[in-house]
Structure 1
């Protein structure tokens, strides 16, 4: 993989590697695996690393990045690191403290991209997924335009080079884009995207606004009960993918990733 040639220009002038390594793992996976997996990803050529406060592994991911810098494999400027603002921090006054908390966990001076993880606010507090006594989510009321202004200030402060969003639909994006006094447009919109959920209309809208689409779950939705119907077909077992893979002497996973790249979508190889 040639990290310098495989990049796309963001609307703020920075560049994002088209192939990223996603560090999400279910809770039962030891956090130490995030350390080893991220180190290995950098060793084999990944320069785009995607994580989030929600994943609760930024300490290990940061350690992996710093170890690969220390041993001379990469320089800090070679790495494109993405973190995400979790839903309990969407109040404007909580945005910078949330980013600073991630930076402290990472032991890095800045992130390359900071994005709003979800366009839905949850009640602030220590719990990542706050619920009431009946197990129902506790939501918060926040104007996302004010949240965005706080992200713009983080960019101006040098805590992040670029700012973007995740899981936004076109109407939510338009609210940001049409905001009076907008200083910086979102550089990206990271969404679930794969051949079974191709997001074609949303991708066309993003591209029309010079917003880069980034695909997570590019190898198919998580096979977790409660997240997906386990009776639904498995993407990587799809006969069409198998046929294309066989023709090109590749795996179904490689075909699913290439599908995104050929559409101009930045893709996370594992997420």
Structure 2
């Protein structure tokens, strides 16, 4: 990957930019709008939001104000956990389009596979919900459809019961959280992997002398090292900031390459605080 404009091609031919601007926890209206505008100004063309983030309206305003034609942007949203089921999913996806003021979404994901209200029968719950995404895909309102936070059993259930195969799985990935079985299964099903929370290990790496040596060698920050690690693993990488300078820095990761030895070292890192079950709660 050599530039912010590089893309992967999904199984249906849709192109997805390799670096995305995430909007999780950006709930202030002005910050949400300005964040999207600044990200697009810096060259981002991939914007990621979700019903759960409660900022679709502001993200949509940022898209309108950014000055780049809609067809040049790749916009993702995700299904809130209380909106599972065929009828509910269809209705609320239409509502997402209204909030974003868009005619279509480039990608829509089921945000979590098991939700509290339907935990006893998550298999049928996911099948019914997925059918809504399939139908909206057929109608052209969703250009690509996929999953988020689906592990191997959840992926197998969809694979065995779908009419249209998922094109993306968005999961937590960074040094210390590799989810190797899920990555392998997703790729076997011809899904592109998206990595969320790629900067989670930053504070645990600040005192690591080898990581500090990497920063000196490459002339990059820990954040840039982590984002580059994610790209070199072949993940579409999602990163968030509301600060214009940091948005710019997060995109400045295409002029260097980590050595295989450095990649292996980062792969080997363990962070107990980041691998607790609570870290995988619904977000």
TM-score, normalized by length of structure 2?
A: 0.79
Aligned match of 2:36 = 38
Candidates 217, 220, 245, aligned match of 1:247: 217
Whether contact under 8 Å (1:206, 1:213) holds in the other structure is yes
Task: State the partner residue of 1:176.
Answer: 158
Contact 1:166 1:190 in 2 (8 A): yes
After TM superposition, the structure 1 = structure 2 runs for residues 176-215 of structure 1, keeping only pairs within 5 Å, are 176-179=158-161, 182-215=162-195
Query: Partner of 2:107 in structure 1?
Result: 113
Structure 1: how far apart are the matches of 2:78 and 2:199? 21
Q: CA deviation at 1:161?
A: 0.3
* Matched pairs, number: 237
How big is the shift at 1:199?
Answer: 1.9
Larger mean Cα displacement after TM superposition, 97-106 or 191-200: 191-200
Residue 74 of structure 1 corresponds to which residue in structure 2?
A: 68
Task: Report the 3-state secondary structure (helix = DSSP H, G, I; strand = E; otherwise coil) of the residue aligned with 1:82.
Answer: strand
Q: Shift of residue 202 of structure 1?
A: 1.7
**Separation in structure 2 between the aligned mates of residue 235 and residue 203 of structure 1, nearest angstrom:** 24
**Partner in structure 2 of residue 131 of structure 1:** none
How many Å separate the matches in 2 of 1:242 and 1:74?
38
Q: CA deviation at 1:74?
A: 1.4
3-state SS of the aligned residue for 1:54?
helix
Matched, 1:12 2:12: yes
Q: Which runs of 5+ in 1 are unaligned?
A: 124-137, 222-232
Choose from 142, 147, 152 the match for 1:165: 147
User: Given that residues 196 and 220 in structure 1 are in contact (C-alpha distance below 8 angstroms), is that contact kept between their aligned partners in structure 2?
Assistant: no
Taking only aligned residues, the RMSD between alpha carbons, in angstroms, comes to: 2.0
Secondary structure of the residue aligned to 1:24 is coil
Q: Where do residues 90-105 of structure 1 align in structure 2 (5 Å cutoff)?
A: 90-105=84-99
Q: Deviations over 1:153-188 (max 9, x none)?
A: 010111110000001101110111111xx3211111
Cα distance in structure 1, aligned partners of 2:213 and 2:179: 23
TM-score, normalised on structure 1?
0.82
Alpha-carbon distance, 1:235 to partner: 4.0
Secondary structure of 1:103's aligned partner = helix
